[in-house]
Copies of this chain bind each other. A is one copy, B any other.
Amino acid sequence: MDFVTVLGFAAALLTTFSFLPQMIKTWQSKSAKDVSFIMLIFFNTGIFLWLIYGIILQQLPVIFANATTLVFNMIILWLKIKYK
């Protein structure tokens, strides 16, 4: 694996797992009233487009980061709708 791919995976791990605390907090508190619905829709749409971008350019770190972040943020969106 070349240097830039290792760098990409390090970046992916750091940014992806930054979303874990928010997901766990929302899960435990059963509340996401402080998290903007519009922001979540924008963010999930953007992450989905980044995923397509990564797939077209065949960049594994971009695919890995955005697939994982999309799952986390879809769960946060689902919890927000469920507990509204």
Q: Name the prevailing secondary structure of the A interface residues.
A: helix
Q: A21-B36, A34-B34, A39-B21 are in contact. Are A53 and B46 (CB under 8 A)?
A: no
State in angstroms the CA–CA spacing of A50 and B18 once bound together: 14
Range class of the A interface residue count:
20 to 34
For residue A75, CB closer than 8 A to chain B, the reply is no
Instruction: For the complex, give the distance between the alpha carbons of A10 and B50 in Å.
Output: 9
Contact of A57 with B by CB under 8 A:
yes
CB distance A57 to B18 under 8 Å? no
Q: Is A1 an interface residue (CB 8 A)?
A: no
Q: Contact partner of A18 among B14, B43, B49, B56, CB < 8 A?
A: B43
